[in-house]
Amino acid sequence: MVKPTRRRREALTGYAFLLPSLIPLIVFTLYPLAYSGYLSLVKWNLLSPRKEFVGFANYTRLANDEALLRVFANTALYTAAVVSIGVIVGLVLALLLNRRLWLRALWRGVFFLPSVVPLAVLSGLWLWIYDPGFGLMNYLLRSIGLPAGQWLHSPTSALWAIIVMMIWQTAGYNMVILLAGLQNISEELYEAARLDGAGRGVILTRITLPLLSPTLLFITVVASIQAFRVFDPIWVMSLGTGGPANSTGTLVFYLYRQAFMFFEAGYASAIAYLVVGIALTFTVIQLWLSRRWVTYE
Amino acid sequence: MPRPTRALIVALVVLVLALPSWMAPAQAQRNPLAVTVWFPLPTGGPLKEAMDDLVTRFNSSHTDIRVTLELTGDYQQNYQKLQTAIVAGSPPDGAMMELMQIPEFADAGVLAPLDELAKQRDFNFADINPALLGNSYWKGKLYAIPWQRSTTMMYYNVDAFKEAGLPEFAPPQTWDDFRRVAPKLVVRQGDQIMRYAIEGDFNHDWLYEGMVYSYGGRLVSQDGRRALFGEPPSVAALTLLRDLAKRDKVLYVNPNFSGIIENFIAGRSAAIVHSSFALSIITSRARFRWSVAPIPAGPSGSVLNAGGGNFVLFAKTSPERQRAAWEFLKWMTSSANTAFYSMRSGYLPIRASATEDGQLKSHYKQFPMAKKSVDLSFNYGKSRMVVLDVEKGVRQFLNPALEAVLLGSADPKQALDEATSKANAVLGGK
């Protein structure tokens, strides 16, 4: 009789210790998640006391929404570009700055700097860089005899302009995490390889990259989720419009507009569930793929 | 714990709890009615200081009411915070809102109609600038009183006009005239344009609506249910803008509202179309001679489109607090106080009589352009469209169409027709 009570008491103590993190999780994550699920089944303008139950109408509307297709394509392009290029740039920087270089600590700091500056400040800076008439970018291009661009003012280049800014902003963070990963690889492996006569290329592809793969996976998963729900840079760089001519709107930006500007709380919740579903699918696929190519030391 | 210590603690606690009633005997006699008003202003800066001054003066002259100002950021943040507060069931007693956002709240019944209060407490409507009052009504009822208001207008660089061999203080009055002289104002260096003749955010429905008015049309029908941007006046206005921007290359369509002011101050545009609010910034920073003028006229004359924020009261509060909030609103919009706020903030005084205010008069002596801009707003000002779902039914389709045309990638008539039919599916579907 003594044993179960004691075990129960232990369990209770355990839960009690969990409470401080469990309560915020329930109040700020699980409850809103469930409530948003309920909202996705109603038509509600946020202000009216009445919520009309519409079943899965908001979800069927997703399938027929032309504008949604557009923002989905924008989001996919943004995510693919920011994640793939951002990780590659981060990797190159990490490999370079893992060597013994002159002023190495300074370079590491310089490349990491963009990730600690608030996005609002960065955006102000880049809005000026990209100004087609008087910005730094066109000034530099003209001074070396290249044609100037319209950047944020053209539907064909606006999204790419934001992508470039965000690669610049996230590559430093990727670099720091990858540097940590690089330093976890034991020096003995490199020594042994060198003794066996392995060249730089072989060391990179046979030792460094395979042993860095868990870190690369981590970075890719985190960066994909971050990129997929991008909102702030879009909002600031398009001055709240998702333009010019709808060329920069993303899924979460669209969700925000539906909820807080078009007063479509139900439809916005359905979009939120779509975003969650896609992000979840991608994560599962990434983790599944990882079993094939991630090596743990 | 030993007895004496515990007794001491109990005694201390009792003492502390009793303290406030000893220390504030005056307040205990008569509790002023607390009224909360939300304001879309950042937590620092000259506007905030001006509002603080006004609220302090109100509270000391009205001992039975105590107004607390809560600052909510910009118009969009303010709107969202109000939405959240309404959903949570605890809106403030009053607020200032961007005028295009008001129909949504009025239609949902969350705003208090003000007709009765205005009648009971004889509010003077007579000398309010009619262009600023137009956006105060929803379905025939009064819901808002103008406060922080502006209109569009043209600013021009007098030195640049002189340099181009144009009359210094007589800018073109019509778009036809403007188009004729504009190439003289443009400064080129190789293929790069160093100075445009004119700059403005014509991608946005605020400036664009003014253009459509001056071409004799409207963006949306009077009842707010039919989009009219595919009609000939709108097509003609957009075609002109497209030609100025893409054919003549004299107009710089810049969506960056603060960037436009910077470009004017730096001499990169000979003229800009902007808010009257920009006047105070230009006054303090421009290092050349400049002036204000009506925006060049279309076939139906020059139109300066009104914008800005209005006062509203919320329906949920008690009648007693509504009266108190109305008292504040009435006091704030009095001639003397609208003059004071105008002088300190750069926004327009809402009443004609305010321009006779002694302080404002001496301010105008020092800054004659401020007086000129107020006169322009009375002579050429016009109210905006009144429409429910302006974001969903108008901006969602109209603004991207304007962008596409002004970037040269779409035909005005075709783009506007397409936007009109999409907008009508939303607006007419009510």
A61 to A57, A144, B149, B297: CA distances (angstroms): 6, 50, 40, 44
- Residue B257's contacts (CB-CB under 8 Å, 6 or more residues apart) are A239, B201, B274
Of B332, B316, B310, the C-alpha closest to B136 is B310
Inspect the interface and report whether the beta carbons of A134 and B110 lie closer than 8 Å: no
Residues of chain B with pLDDT under 70: 1-30, 429-430
Q: How many Å apart are CA A208 and CA A175, to the nearest integer? A: 15
Residue range A248-268, pLDDT digits in tens: 999 999 999 999 889 999 999
- Residue B374's contacts (CB-CB under 8 Å, 6 or more residues apart) are B342, B348, B349, B355
Residue range A211-221, pLDDT digits in tens: 999 899 989 98
Q: Does B265 touch chain A (CB under 8 A)?
A: no
Q: What's the confidence (pLDDT) of residue B14?
A: 54
Cβ atoms B306, B297 nearer than 8 A = no
- Between chain A and chain B, the number of residue pairs with CB atoms below 8 A apart is 76
Q: What's the confidence (pLDDT) of residue B22?
A: 46
Q: How many Å apart are CA A64 and CA A44, to the nearest integer? A: 20
| Total residues found in chain B within this entry | 430
**∠ at Cα A57 (A53, A63), nearest 5°?**
160
Taking any CB pair shorter than 8 Å as contact, residues of chain A touching chain B are 45-48, 127, 131, 133-134, 142, 148, 150, 153-155, 239-241, 243-246, 257, 260-264
How distant is the Cα of A82 from the closest Cα of chain B, in angstroms?
A: 25
Q: What's the confidence (pLDDT) of residue B56?
A: 96
Count each helix (H run) and each strand (E run) in chain B, helices first.
19, 14
**Could you tell me the pLDDT band of residue A4, with boundaries at 50, 70 and 90?**
low
| Partners of residue B382 on adjacent β-strands | B305
Q: Does B364 touch chain A (CB under 8 A)?
A: no
Q: What's the confidence (pLDDT) of residue B27?
A: 47
Q: What's the confidence (pLDDT) of residue A147?
A: 87
DSSP A147-171: PP--GGGSTTTHHHHHHHHHHHHHH
Q: What's the confidence (pLDDT) of residue B394?
A: 96
Q: What's the confidence (pLDDT) of residue B8?
A: 60
Q: How many Å apart are CA B101 and CA B226, to the nearest integer? A: 18
Q: Do domains B31-150+307-382 and B154-305+388-427 have the same CATH topology?
A: yes
Q: What's the confidence (pLDDT) of residue A297?
A: 58
Query: Average model confidence (pLDDT) for chain A?
Result: 91
What was the ipTM of the complex prediction?
0.83
CATH numbers and ranges of domains, chain A: 65-293 (1.10.3720.10)
Question: Kind of pairing, strands B304-313 and B381-382?
Answer: parallel
CATH for the B154-305+388-427 domain, from 3.40.190.10, 3.20.20.70, 3.40.50.620, 3.60.20.10: 3.40.190.10
**Could you tell me the pLDDT band of residue A135, with boundaries at 50, 70 and 90?**
confident
Each domain of chain B, given as residue ranges in start order, spans 31-150+307-382, 154-305+388-427
What is the SS3 assignment for B195?
Answer: strand
Question: Of B259, B396, B399, which has the smallest distance from its Cβ to A131's Cβ?
Answer: B259
Q: Does B105 touch chain A (CB under 8 A)?
A: yes
How distant is the Cα of A68 from the closest Cα of chain B, in angstroms?
A: 13
Residue B292: phi and psi, rounded to 5, are: -110, 155
Cβ atoms B113, B142 nearer than 8 A = yes
Q: Is B15 exposed, middle or buried (0-12, 13-18, 19+ CB in 10 A)?
A: exposed
Q: How many Å apart are CA B110 and CA B301, to the nearest integer? A: 38
Question: Of B83, B257, B392, which has the smallest distance from its Cβ to A46's Cβ?
Answer: B83
Residues of A in contact with B396 (CB under 8 A): 257, 262
A291 to A104, A213, B293: CA distances (angstroms): 35, 11, 70
What is the token pair recorded at A201? 């290329």
Inspect the interface and report whether the beta carbons of A245 and B86 lie closer than 8 Å: no
Q: How many Å apart are CA B430 and CA B423, to the nearest integer? A: 12
CATH superfamily of B31-150+307-382: Periplasmic binding protein-like II (3.40.190.10)
